[in-house]
Structure 1
């Protein structure tokens, strides 16, 4: 996997090498330093999400896959990272989206307070939505042939008779428990967020199914790709904006010497560089068929989503440490990779089987 990562880093690092001097000259040394830090952080986080992205890219119909891996993925990550937090604040605070976006840049402290107030409902929405996405793997909704990574328990869950009903039932039960255990002041927000998450997931699946029905082609395939981008963009948003409590446009506010326009410019360019790396790494993993060569990598990618949904539900009751929220995906993907490598080595060491005469 190291050559894959190295080849994918070439363009993002080139963009960073070009943009940093430009920021230094046109803005300030502080802007250049902030851009470097933010872009490197985005690249590090993108490495965690590339494997799940590759798994989703494999589900997209071939004519739309190239557009998804080039333009759609970058735009989707940018939209979720930069626009979804102001949208959430606009809905919960009854503001216009423009006012919420201006607040994020001009008044980051007030925006952070508003986002924190909206957080319980958003987390409930994300927890049930991401659980339902993860349950597609856990309960083997598509009934694909695979070897269970976690042994007999996973194999048994993959054979349940009504997988979609099981996934929805567990999601509703977990949401109900989270509402019952929550503080009475936020129970209404949690209930609405959970119900909206279920409705959004079902609507997303209806659109995806319709867009690929009867050999659909053209713009419908791109619509299907958009549903996949929405799933992954929402996951990235929940992981890096809600669990760790930071918002991209506010993350550079502590850098000395930057005004709000410089902060916005640095944030947009930094996120864009990270998104380009994510798109290239995902495309490379998909082209190299990494998910087929490493048989448990897809399982690890799925369990990243499962753990994220559990952490989101848990975060409604107890604080989640930032380190755990930010890097648990690396541990899961690493374990999946390590448990896949011995098989590859053993296959290489085996003598070729002679064809029957």
Structure 2
């Protein structure tokens, strides 16, 4: 199972580190290895959340996520995205931007860093919405019951997560935004930029998340109607898990879930790309190191789906979402204050480790053996991937 799931990641690691050594020597080898570890540590919670979404997709869309999705993650977000940011903010053409990144790396780093307030506001608000929608929703399993029960009751108020996110954005924009960091020691008034970027992050979440939820609900409604009709047996129905929720989603529902995953990955990659400049400003070293890490995040996502880990360790998803909430807050704070990347990575690891430990204790308390109560419908989908 491990070799089958992580095989491509192992192969990419060997090839990538060998290429780093041949191109840049031992120093380049070390830089790429460190960047890979940095990406994995910062994105472990991303893998857990990805797994909860990927488990809903059918075989075709799971493969799309693992093929096209990884190309977007590695080349799009880790290589093209920083170039795009520099090109837009500095009003430069693609060729000029690439030339700058290759031949004037210090200036390239300065321009990417100057764009950090906009990047952090967009990604911070997007991730904050994911966290808020999770904690405001009534759930069967509660990890921190003393906190989650009252929040679930508050969540019955319509659009509460949007109002909270807007309130947080307004506070950040009027405090940190007025003296936003645009360099190691330089600040500038980016209040308008932070507000606009944060609103774009909120709108992106509402559009992509809303459309995926709409088509998923529509698929469920169509399935229920078919069960009452004469043609119900003749049409292909979505599979359902033991909890009654649809799995094996296809068509528009799966497409928008795929978009949601890619935007989620982009939001997680922001801090990794910015943090990588503390190690190197070579775009190719950065893309190679972060790309290797992204491969492991994808492989871990698949591993969690195939093993049914989120069903066996029910608090893992909670820990991942709390880590997302922490990352969202950190991203928004970094608009006006420096934050060590080690802190960012450790917070996520600690929260997920605590959630895993709580899940193990729960399993012992109720006598649950992981892997014994698998979802047969989901297992059938996963076995094909």
Shorter chain as normaliser: what TM range? 0.7 to 0.9
Report the Cα distance in structure 1 between the residues aligned to 2:199 and 2:321, rounded to whole angstroms: 23
Report the Cα distance in structure 1 between the residues aligned to 2:335 and 2:280, rounded to whole angstroms: 27
Answering whether residue 264 of structure 2 is matched by residue 236 of structure 1, we say: no
Q: How does 1:168-207 map to 2 (within 5 A)?
A: 168-182=162-176, 183=178, 185-207=189-211
65 and 92 in structure 1: CA distance in 2 versus 1, 3 angstrom threshold: same
Answering whether residue 160 of structure 2 is matched by residue 166 of structure 1, we say: yes
Hey, what does 1:130 align to over in structure 2?
Answer: 127
Hey, what does 1:13 align to over in structure 2?
Answer: 10
* Preserved CA contact (<8 Å) 2:54 2:305: yes
Gaps of 5+ in 2: 180-188, 223-248, 370-385
Report the Cα distance in structure 1 between the residues aligned to 2:12 and 2:89, rounded to whole angstroms: 37
Hey, what does 2:106 align to over in structure 1?
Answer: 109
Deviation per residue, 1:139-182 (Å, 9 max, x gap): 11xx5x42221123311212335455100000111111112213
TM-score by length of 1: 0.80
Aligned partner of residue 314 in structure 2, secondary structure? coil
Shift of 1:81: 2.0
Stretch deviating more after TM superposition (154-163 or 185-194):
154-163
Deviation per residue, 1:239-276 (Å, 9 max, x gap): 3234x3x34xx8445xxxxxx7xx62x44443333222
Aligned partner of residue 159 in structure 1, secondary structure? helix
Deviation per residue, 1:83-132 (Å, 9 max, x gap): 22222222222223443344233322111111222111221222211111
Hey, what does 2:352 align to over in structure 1?
Answer: 333
Q: How does 1:79-118 map to 2 (within 5 A)?
A: 79-118=76-115
Aligned length: 330
Report the Cα distance in structure 1 between the residues aligned to 2:254 and 2:99, rounded to whole angstroms: 31
Answering whether residue 73 of structure 2 is matched by residue 77 of structure 1, we say: yes
Report the Cα distance in structure 1 between the residues aligned to 2:362 and 2:303, rounded to whole angstroms: 22
* Preserved CA contact (<8 Å) 2:78 2:291: no
Aligned partner of residue 142 in structure 2, secondary structure? coil
Report the Cα distance in structure 1 between the residues aligned to 2:289 and 2:342, rounded to whole angstroms: 21
* Preserved CA contact (<8 Å) 2:31 2:279: no
Aligned partner of residue 339 in structure 2, secondary structure? coil
Aligned partner of residue 194 in structure 1, secondary structure? helix
